Structure 1
């Protein structure tokens, strides 16, 4: 590997652009600072997904012990996302202020004791409260994407974002597989069921502490070093970056709102599915906890390749057709995901359902990757805010679908799943309204009176 020197700037193991952001993405490399930041970011978020979704696969056992009603379980599902909305919105500006390393490492350490507290829960209220506070950890998604966008250049930011979030998201699948196994293993030593599920939660708690410490110890915010120094360096920063300005610019950008809505019905639907799918197979097809957990795990583990694939498609379409390509690809993939979700509710056989779940997972997760292929282009100055708005949109979508369709409603789960698919198809349509003066939109090219070069997109805002 040759090092690239930019007029006396430090040399890096990866080729970099003028901002010292990496122009190549090499997932198997640990080269500091770019690839090291990538591995710390995905692993830390992985542990947060592992914790947040360590509870659903054990719900069939926990509900016996705590006498949880269907409404309690639904409310707990809503609570896990409600915590995450609030914390994701705050995470954007926090990253803009202190940088992603301190923000994400600290959040992991603060939420680890909560997942440990699951083992002490003795009432439905406490169960709901634990899910609420564990949900906060998912805000690390925003810092994860923010960090990748600070480290990787525009030509590879789609794939960097996609893989960092995709690999992390696999945590929501792995945990559906691992937690029933841990529980079964503890039972093997003649421990009572009501003690066994409680002891199982020591695993996710320790895991989260370890990744939080790794981020704080080995992470670096920017290619050129720490974030605080960069913010306080007048050469690097113009005075336009007061927190108010940054937030105002983000919130007044309608593209951020549309991306939030789209993400609500790609990633949001994925989160809701993570919450209900093990129980759906357990109750509908009379499977045991392990088998239901394994099917649910397939849904989450598809993220290993499907979400990164969304990022790759976005970058490839962006190369060939510009912003129009990114937007069309997003619309097509997310609409197909919606139709598959409608189908999932209509299939009556076990194997048919498994097949549809797996195909659905690929499309819905690719749609998430495609959405974050567009995010870095909306605003450079308010990147954290736009990431936060889109990320919160994801969890708001999860709350809406969970509340409307899966909480104490008298509808069958099948019907709810199909309705969720219809909502996806409809809520993907606003992508047609997105327009960027310097690149155009789905139906029209860039506006002729703007001569933007690609490097200058930051001047838009």
Structure 2
């Protein structure tokens, strides 16, 4: 871990790692959300229905749920440098496929595959945690997440204008194609310019790749329960694409998917039991234990924070356009202010967490989150636009500061499992997104915001059971020696 001074304007040592990491994360979000600002031209070009468009929004975040878990495990095993570079390179393919799509089915397949790029976030969480000490970790993770998340705002600000500059029916295709080219470029830049740890530091890897390690029998069953929503939400997605919803899949195809998800969960449970089999032979020494409830609480909080952000970023341009009768470009610009807050809010949440305590910060921000979305539920055409924008930005502050505060805690639970913990917590953000977007497809916008506010209240209650991280994490090097990692 680097001991050099935290200097935001430096581009050497740990600061170089931080800046390059948020840049590649920025690219992943630019690509992931390159569709929403171009809704009007895409729908008109392909003659899509509103229901088909909403299906694309759900597909866009669906695959990210299992992808974050898988990518988190791969990151712990192979290191963030290789995994991030590979993810960017591979994700350029479905990005180009979406730009070239000629019908809804092709777009749906490309968008589903492109959801994999949303897993990039968890890679950088592990990378940053290797380079920064606990007193700077929340701030560094907040900068990484906040400035990277700004990629969605950049998409809203720039892509409609790019599409207009290219002009013609294919202007939107060229705009999206450019984001795919950036994936390839930054894949190479990242691979050639970063390392997984500072010189002389140990990169702790999990004992097994097959499942997350826990340290008690009760936590093992708790983990299996917390895995269920990730499979159930994918089953819900399949149902929405069945003849009972949008008839993209046949009943036979849906039944195959249900059976496959059931088999996959059972295999996941078996793999998790196998990894944790030693728990039934002898207890884990106290020094090596961690409480899984810490992970569970963070999962719930990220469901409400990042889950709502993904859903709101996806629907906000259309909401502004329809509520205030604005053009695509203007609505995209105003909606982008929600994500624009990431530049300061997420780093701010991490910084406050570093200074004043992890749990106290989360309690305050989660309460603000509930109140913020309640205020958004009141917006209608009678509001002045400036007041609606102000309410959106205020709500966004609590959402994204809360995200920063959540990931100020994640790396402080168990170092060698940071990628897997970040993957599961990140996946819950996507479970939240699919859940909220499903609600959005069924209710009016006011009710949609009220539902998010209600889940934030549940997150506040869950947070009361979380313990403030303190002391040290005990890890064992490959040569058998023990290293104590400070978390406070």
> Could you state the TM-score of these two structures normalised by the residue count of structure 1?
0.82
Residue aligning to 1:341: 373
Distance 1:75 1:331 in 2: 34
Tell me how far apart the structure 1 counterparts of residues 470 and 143 of structure 2 sit (CA, whole Å).
27
2:460 corresponds to: 428
Query: 1:423: how far off?
Result: 2.0
Q: Secondary structure at the match of 1:242?
A: coil
Whether 2:10 is the aligned partner of 1:29: answer: yes
Contact 2:63 2:116 in 1 (8 A): yes
Distance in 2 (CA, whole Å) between partners of 1:274 and 1:423 is 18
1:171-210 matched pairs, under 5 angstroms = 171-187=151-167, 192=168, 194-210=169-185
Kindly indicate whether residue 84 of structure 2 is the aligned counterpart of residue 104 of structure 1: yes
CA positional deviation for 1:80: 1.3
CA-CA distance at 1:93 after TM superposition: 1.0
Which residue of structure 1 aligns with residue 255 of structure 2?
A: none
* 1:144 partnered with 2:129: no
Quote how far apart the aligned CAs of 1:244 are.
4.8
State the match for 2:105 in structure 1. Answer: 125
Asked if 1:351 is matched to 2:351, the reply is: no
Query: Kindly tell me: are residues 24 and 311 of structure 1, through their superposed partners in 2, closer, same or farther at Cα, counting changes over 3 Å?
Result: farther
Partners in 1 of 2:313 and 2:49 — Cα distance? 19
> 1 CA distance for matches of 2:6 and 2:485?
22
Distance 1:174 1:438 in 2: 37
Is residue 47 of structure 2 the alignment partner of residue 67 of structure 1?
A: yes
Instruction: Tell me, yes or no, if structure 1 residue 372 matches structure 2 residue 407.
Output: yes
Tell me the secondary structure at the aligned position of residue 346 of structure 1.
Answer: coil
State how far apart, in whole Å, the 1-side matches of 2:99 and 2:409 are.
41
Aligned to 1:94: 74
Q: CA deviation at 1:178?
A: 0.4
Identify unmatched segments of 5+ residues in structure 2.
224-291, 472-482
Q: CA deviation at 1:246?
A: 5.1
Q: Tell me the equivalent position of 1:330.
A: 362
- Work out the CA distance in 1 between the residues paired with 2:297 and 2:10: 35
Aligned to 1:242: 208
| Ranges in structure 1 where 5+ consecutive residues have no aligned partner | 1-19, 319-325, 440-454
1:248, CA displacement in angstroms?
4.3
Q: Does 1:415 align with 2:447?
A: yes
* Cα 1:180/1:413, change in 2 over 3 Å: same
Assess, with a 3 A threshold, how the Cα gap between structure 1 residues 300 and 245 changes in structure 2: closer, same or farther: closer
Distance 2:331 2:469 in 1: 49
Partner of 1:383: 418
CA shift at 1:345, angstroms?
Answer: 1.7
Query: For 1:271 and 1:379, how far apart are their aligned partners in 2?
Result: 27
**Distance in 1, Cα, partners of 2:462 & 2:32:** 30
> Where do residues 45-56 of structure 1 align in structure 2 (5 Å cutoff)?
45-56=25-36
Indicate how the Cα distance of structure 1 residues 436 and 174 shifts in structure 2: closer, same or farther if over 3 A, else same.
closer
Report the counterpart of residue 194 of structure 2 in structure 1.
Answer: 219
Cα distance between partner residues in 1 of 2:408 and 2:213: 21
- Cα 1:338–1:68 change in 2 (3 A) is farther
- Within 2, Cα distance between the matches of 1:158 and 1:436? 14
CA distance in 1, matches of 2:177, 2:49: 25
Q: Which of 341-350 and 140-149 deviates more?
A: 341-350
Name the residue aligned to 1:396: 431
Candidates 440, 463, 473, aligned match of 1:406: 440
C-alpha separation in 2, matches of 1:28 and 1:166: 17
> 1:57, 1:221 → 2: CA distance?
35
Distance (whole Å) between structure 2 residues aligned to residue 136 and residue 276 of structure 1: 20
Q: Is the 8 A contact 1:167 1:303 kept in 2?
A: yes
Alpha-carbon distance, 1:428 to partner: 2.9
**CA separation in 2, counterparts of 1:335 and 1:81?**
26
1:40 to 20, 24, 29: 20
CA contact (8 A) 2:76 2:416 kept: no
Cα distance, 1:185 vs. partner? 0.8
**Matched residues in 1 for 2:427 and 2:368: separation?**
23
Spell out the pairing of 1:175-324 with structure 2 (5 A cutoff): 175-187=155-167, 192=168, 194-224=169-199, 241-244=207-210, 247-248=213-214, 252=223, 253-318=292-357
Q: 1:437 to 1:154 in 2, by over 3 A?
A: closer
In the aligned structure 2, how far is the partner of 1:113 from the partner of 1:202? 10
- Aligned residues, how many? 400
State how far apart, in whole Å, the 1-side matches of 2:313 and 2:200 are: 37
The answer to whether the 8 Å contact 2:366/2:459 transfers is: no
How far residue 457 of structure 1 moved from its aligned partner, in angstroms, is 6.2
* Mapped partners of 1:377, 1:66: distance in 2: 48
Rounded to whole Å, the distance in 2 between the matches of 1:242 and 1:413 is 45
SS at match of 2:12: coil
Q: How high is the TM-score relative to the length of structure 2? A: 0.78
Does structure 1 retain, via aligned residues, the 8 Å contact 2:409–2:469?
A: no
- Give 1:395 shift: 1.1
